A and B are shown apart, each in its own frame.
Chain A
Amino acid sequence: MNVLYGLHQPDEGEIHLRGEPVQIGSPREAIGMRVGMVHQHFMLIGVMTVAENVVLASEPRRGPLLDVGEAERRVRELSERFGLVVDPRARVEDIGVGQQQRVEILRVLHRGADLLILDEPTAVLTAQEIADLFKVLRSLTAEGVSVIFITHKLREVLEIADRVTVLRRGKKVATVETAGATEASLAKLMVGRDVLFRIEKDAAQAGEPLLEVSELEVEDDRGLPAVRGLSLQVRGGEIVGVAGVDGNGQSELVEAITGLRVPRAGRITVAGKDITGGGVRDALAAGIGHIAEDRHRRGLVLDFTLAENLALREYRRAPLSRFGLLSPKRMMRQARPLLEQYDVRGGRPGTAAGSLSGGNQQKVVIARELAEEPQVTIAAQPTRGLDVGAIEFVHKRLLEQRDAGRGVLLVSLELEEIRSLADRVLVIYEGRIVAEVSPDVTDEEIGVAMLGGTVRT
């Protein structure tokens, strides 16, 4: 995809655009050829308004000045034409992820693209936002825009695409019409073997409460209440799922439990030990493992080696360090079996974490967090952006934790993931748990609760 957008150059082969062979030397040239791309990681400037971001690099001018009115008018016009509702005057950092993505799409359209490349567009979206995005994509194709939609999620492919090309290790495996395809048939093409979708698991043997959160109140970065009097309990031997629409206090809840954020009120105990406000080290010492929601931001130091990353939780203690001095040898010795056990491919202990693929990076995070056999694992979006093989791996590891009698709190925006893994599902809405349901209820029932409605249970 980066080749199509001119970011990388092909070593061999040709690209044909509208029947003509072309060479795309840079993103600017790609834009000139009406090819637009929306990256998985957005390329927006947070402090600028929506309109300013959209017209960036092709600004309407009035003399030497930016014509703000004209910019806003253009954004409104595009919004209406394609059904992409967004306030042109809002600052990008103040709007949600789904809205930000619309800004990205608007920007590409503003530059006149009629071939739109979307890289993992749904990875950060909620179910509702995904449904909205699909509506937008349908109106785009109706207007004659072609869309290349890159995703790991089979269900989305089947829902939105007309044709699907399956890639495996950089090679095209097949191109099929979605009309005749099923999730199973696509997964088989992707992995090269049959994939278990419905995770096979025994009934939970829930034991003593390990994690208890009571009347927790946490503020977000702006000092506004994000978690408002939330209580929950995770017992040994069960996976508790927290389902909810993005931005209902999930991040703040996870950060409070793992010691990254000091709660305003309430109590957090692990196996009876109070860790409220004790910071990361207390949480760690009490037996909290944390698979962070953003492995690039929190989970890994990409410039560190794998051995150094695996030591991130333990470097302060013997045997990795003594009297304030580290032992690189022991760090290496600790890393080797972990990398093997967790099937991390493409790296030795001395390799920089940044050079691994996303799936293998996540395996490193999981290896570090689970190796210590934490009492409770807090897994926040543990499979975001991973391919089906890696997702299967992560799910299996979490189930192993459960079956070993430890607790798992799974916070995810993927309803499917929660339903297939969790033994109990808590629905979070505006910082409170509003419902507890069995994972066997329908999507609709959970969905209603996620939007603040009441559920019949």
Chain B
Amino acid sequence: MTSPTPEGQGALTVGSRLSGYLRGGGVLVPVITALMAFVVGGFVVLATGANPISTYKAVFEGSGLNWLFPWVTGDDRLIAGLNLQQTLILTAPLILTGLAVAFAFRAGLFNIGGQGQYLVGSFAAVYVGSSLDGLPALLHVVLAIVAGCVVGGLWAGIAGLLKATTGANEVISTIMLNWTAIYLGSYLFQIRGPLQSSDPAQQSIPVSNDILESARLPVFWGDPELQGLHIGIFVALVVTALFWVLLNRSVTGYEVRAVGFNPDAAEYGGINAGRSYVKVMVICGVLAGLAGAIDVLGWQFRVATNDITVSNIGFYGIAVALLGRNTAVGTVVAALLFGALLNGTSVRNLDPSIFDPLLATNLTYIIQGLIVLFVSAPVLVTMLSRGRLRRVLRPMPSPEVKSGG
């Protein structure tokens, strides 16, 4: 009747190939992947003439993770605490953009659009958070967050809808939507743009209005004036728990996973794959939009066009999801790693005598890139682990050899 095999023929999509790799194995593979990235990164540090061990030690201390050690006391502990607050402020949106990519992977989709969804979420949150003066604080915060989620969800939903109706590849459409979001922001907040600050003192600066006090996320650790840790990290952790329930314990999650593994069998079970794609992308967009909302409501308090073009949180989400193997817990751990790395290598935190801070930011890029590379090159890892490399490198008998000539 139909051709005999789904496996034998037809190209796999990038998304399905990556998620296939991510399904196998346990905790060991991501740990090895991260270690390999750090080792190779260490060689890069060495090549610049610096000492990789003391560099990594400085990065670690810059991240504030040494606060967890009880023997760090006094001023060191104080500084470590301040650093850790910054690390966790970065970790919260990384968790969310990581989940936004992970959820798509579980449905067999590759959401590269986390950045755009994050940005439009922050635009919506900054608009609601800087207007509606006089609302009670709790209501204002909730409204601004919901605005970010809704707009992020709609933004990503466009890609889902395009895939469901026309079969447009979500990789392409989400990348396009990233650029659309960047230019949309540059337009909205440019000088004399529709949403540029109404403050007379800011007329020559391409920036939004400031978030009103009533819409700012409460700070629970550290000084609000010194950018203490806001409650965004708890929001991210609660959402992670919801993500787990949604994926593993809900009817929607069952359908999403079924479509991700085998769309034909899902259809046979009465699941509409197209509708599932839209649903999945909307949920991804909600997650990334939430990340944008808590960033502007928690510590940025405004959107500036300069920041829009250099922001990378959504892209880091891809590496976070890959390293976290698309699981809830894995994503949190990977987000903490990247949060620590970003903060530890920031210009502010690294002693210039140990490693040039200007190079340090690039170190984060290098490690991120290596992780994505190692995760995406499972063939290499599999070969290494099975000791097959030797056999491959040995010369092969030519397939053209025939007897008798």
Residues of B within 8 A of A324 (CB): 250-252
Query: Counting CB contacts under 8 A, is B57 at the interface?
Result: no
Spot the interface stretch: B253-261, B287-295, B369-377.
B253-261
**Measured between C-beta atoms, what is the minimum distance from B334 to chain A in Å?**
22
Contact (Cβ within 8 A) B9 A321? no
Query: Counting CB contacts under 8 A, is B348 at the interface?
Result: no
Contact (Cβ within 8 A) B2 A42? no
Query: Counting CB contacts under 8 A, is B10 at the interface?
Result: yes
Distance A123 CA – B262 CA, assembled complex (angstroms): 23
State whether A41 and B269 are in contact (beta carbons under 8 Å apart), knowing that A32-B397, A316-B251 are contacts in the complex.
no
Contact (Cβ within 8 A) B1 A251? yes
- Chain A residue at smallest Cβ distance from B398: A32
Residues of A within 8 A of B252 (CB): 324
Contact (Cβ within 8 A) B396 A28? yes
State whether A304 and B264 are in contact (beta carbons under 8 Å apart), knowing that A58-B399, A112-B402, A380-B1 are contacts in the complex.
no
Distance A380 CA – B250 CA, assembled complex (angstroms): 31
> B258-301 CB contact bits vs A (8 Å, 1 = yes)?
10011011111110000000000000000000000000000000
Contact (Cβ within 8 A) A41 B7? yes
Contact (Cβ within 8 A) B399 A303? no
Contact (Cβ within 8 A) B267 A321? no
Residues of B within 8 A of A326 (CB): 249-251, 253-254
Query: Counting CB contacts under 8 A, is B166 at the interface?
Result: no
**Measured between C-beta atoms, what is the minimum distance from B213 to chain A in Å?**
38
Query: Counting CB contacts under 8 A, is A29 at the interface?
Result: yes
Residues of A within 8 A of B2 (CB): 251, 293-294, 297
Query: Counting CB contacts under 8 A, is A271 at the interface?
Result: no
Query: Counting CB contacts under 8 A, is A232 at the interface?
Result: no
Spot the interface stretch: A43-51, A193-201, A204-212.
A43-51
Contact (Cβ within 8 A) B270 A313? yes
Query: Counting CB contacts under 8 A, is B17 at the interface?
Result: no
**Measured between C-beta atoms, what is the minimum distance from B51 to chain A in Å?**
44
Distance A242 CA – B300 CA, assembled complex (angstroms): 69
Distance A46 CA – B6 CA, assembled complex (angstroms): 12
Query: Counting CB contacts under 8 A, is A260 at the interface?
Result: yes
> A84-128 CB contact bits vs B (8 Å, 1 = yes)?
000000000100010010000000000110000000000110000
State whether A32 and B396 are in contact (beta carbons under 8 Å apart), knowing that A284-B270, A315-B251 are contacts in the complex.
yes
Using C-beta atoms within 8 Å of the partner chain, give the interface range for chain B.
35 or more
Contact (Cβ within 8 A) B6 A39? no
**Measured between C-beta atoms, what is the minimum distance from A163 to chain B in Å?**
24
Contact (Cβ within 8 A) B268 A280? yes
State whether A298 and B1 are in contact (beta carbons under 8 Å apart), knowing that A28-B396, A46-B9 are contacts in the complex.
no
Of residues 387 through 405 on chain B, the ones whose CB sits less than 8 Å from some CB of chain A are: 391, 396-403
Of residues 298 through 332 on chain A, the ones whose CB sits less than 8 Å from some CB of chain B are: 298-304, 308, 311-313, 315-316, 321, 324-326, 328
Contact (Cβ within 8 A) A298 B268? yes
**Measured between C-beta atoms, what is the minimum distance from A120 to chain B in Å?**
10
State whether A298 and B265 are in contact (beta carbons under 8 Å apart), knowing that A42-B4, A97-B3, A100-B3 are contacts in the complex.
yes
- Residue of A250, A302, A325 near B262 (CB, 8 A) is A302
Query: Counting CB contacts under 8 A, is A381 at the interface?
Result: yes
State whether A41 and B267 are in contact (beta carbons under 8 Å apart), knowing that A28-B399, A301-B262, A303-B261 are contacts in the complex.
no
Distance A374 CA – B8 CA, assembled complex (angstroms): 33
- Residue of B8, B269, B397 near A39 (CB, 8 A) is B8
**Measured between C-beta atoms, what is the minimum distance from B49 to chain A in Å?**
44
**Measured between C-beta atoms, what is the minimum distance from B1 to chain A in Å?**
4
> Nearest 6 A-B pairs (CB), nearest first?
A32-B397, A41-B5, A280-B270, A312-B269, A251-B1, A41-B8
Q: Could you tell me which B residues sit within 8 Å of A by CB distance?
A: 1-10, 23, 245, 249-254, 257-258, 261-262, 264-270, 391, 396-403
Mind listing 7 A-B residue pairs with CB under 8 Å?
A32-B398, A42-B9, A57-B399, A124-B4, A293-B1, A298-B265, A315-B251
